[in-house]
Amino acid sequence: MTEPQGSFSPAVEQAIQTTREQVATLHSELTKYGLVIWTGGNVSGRVPGADLFVIKPSGVDYDDLAPENQILCDLDGNVIAGSPGSEKSPSSDTAAHAYVYRHMPEVGGVVHTHSTYATAWAARGEEIPCVITAMADEFGGPIPVGPFAIIGDESIGEGIVAKLTGHRSRAVLMQNHGVFTIGKDARDAVKAAVMAEDVARTVHLSRQLGELIPIPQESIDALFDRYQNVYGQAPEGAKK
């Protein structure tokens, strides 16, 4: 464990509480969309303005998750002594999440699932090709495959960072393991996890029916640019 709770400024304390509430609530999205079973999977969120993040405790039922039993960690994955939930063990993926936060400062949220279809692609070490427009919109191309790595240390984090740095995709299929997603915040990372499973299922079913039709790269680029930079924005000159 690291420095005791109570040594943070009021602004950071408020940011910690807000992040706890967000992360606790977002775990219900994993069960809502069928991305996890039993106690598997996790969501974490970076605390704005501090070198801290909040992550799910290990082995706790999703129905029992609450803001006060989320685990507060520093960016080395050490639990903050005396903080709410610190008597519990953090997720076994904590070191991987910490590695991502240390090496990708733009990332504000990380999610891990073993969602069925996306993990099936991971089990055969195969990237999901970009053959539907929704995938071009969300991921800007294929969802890549990261290396096989043992759970419990930084190895998985190293694979995530190596594969997603400079890549449009916010999801990576860690070979023989499951799905990790990143986002600007925890909600964005959860959205990427939901979308990764959706496209994994659709592309798998399509491949069973016949040959996949690739989308030309220039169309992928145009779709990604529109979705990321135009979609949902108010038209120029519109009233705010």
Which tokens sit at 70? 């989320």
What DSSP letter does each residue of 59-93 carry, written as one string?
Answer: T--GGG--GGGSEEEETTS-BBTTSTTTTSPBPTT
Question: What are the distances in angstroms from CA 129 to CA 65, 175, 203?
Answer: 35, 16, 8
Tokens 């994993």 found at: 30
CATH for the stretch 10-229: 3.40.225.10
Q: Indicate the helix (H) or strand (E) that contains 15.
A: helix 10-32
The C-alpha angle with vertex 24 and arms to 174 and 182, in degrees rounded to 5, equals 30
Is residue 93 a contact partner of residue 179, using CB atoms and an 8 Å limit?
A: no
Mark 42-69 as b/e (b = at least 16 C-beta within 10 Å): bbbbbbeebebbbbbbeebebeebebeb
Per-residue pLDDT of the chain (240 residues; tens, 9 = 90+): 665 555 799 999 999 999 999 999 999 999 999 999 999 999 999 999 999 999 999 999 999 999 999 999 999 999 999 999 999 999 999 999 999 999 999 999 999 999 999 999 999 999 999 999 999 999 999 999 999 999 889 999 999 999 999 999 999 999 999 999 999 999 999 999 999 999 999 999 999 999 999 999 999 999 999 999 987 564 455 443
Residue 137 is given by DSSP the state: H
